[in-house]
Amino acid sequence: MRILTATPLCLLGLLCFSRPSLADASPSPEAQYQQQKKSVPLAVMLEVLCPIAGAGAFYAGASEQATVLAGFSAVNAGVAVGSAFYLIHLSHQHPSGASRVLYDIESASAWTGLVVGGVIYLLTRISGLSLAPDAVTSFNVGLQQRLGVPPADPQLPAFRAQVTGVSLVWRF
């Protein structure tokens, strides 16, 4: 009885989810490009929402740079959070005498870990936000080249301007 009910369900699943036959026309390179290209706003949104840096670069396929950013941000976030917890632990102690020196060293180390870890974490987050659009752009350009799709917008020449004004020259 189970085989009789499972067989039609399997056949229905094969019919619904089967791949298109070879007789179907393959999509044009432009259509393939539109299906496979990555979105800059989505990469930036992933980077903003994920607490670990590099999510937008992972989405865009720049996994080496994203791994480095993720590693640095995870380690430094851990150092900052661990230092904050250690400072909370130290706040309940009131040493005196010789143990005060050890307390001061531990406290200074925890504050250093908190500040340095927090600053490096923020720098990796900013680096991730700047890397995400660049990674998406390079992925999309590489995809255009692989598929043979011409660039959509013509490349404009670089704008150059010269401003005259006061300049400072040091002469020794």
Mean model confidence pLDDT for the chain:
80
On the question of pLDDT at 12 being above 50, the answer is: no
Angstrom distance (rounded) from CA 142 to CA 134 = 12
pLDDT for residue 31 is more than 60: yes
Q: Is there a contact between 136 and 47 (Cβ–Cβ < 8 Å)?
A: no
| Helices 99-147/63-91 angle, 10° precision | 160
Q: Where are the domains of the chain?
A: 35-147
Residue with tokens 């632990």: 89
Question: Is 15 or 136 the better-scoring residue by pLDDT?
Answer: 136
Q: How much is the pLDDT for 116?
A: 93
Q: Give the contacts of 138 (CB within 8 A, at least 6 positions apart).
A: 60, 62
Global pTM value: 0.65
- More confident position, 19 or 131: 131
C-beta separation of 43 from 133 below 8 A: yes
Answer whether residue 89 shows pLDDT above 60.
yes
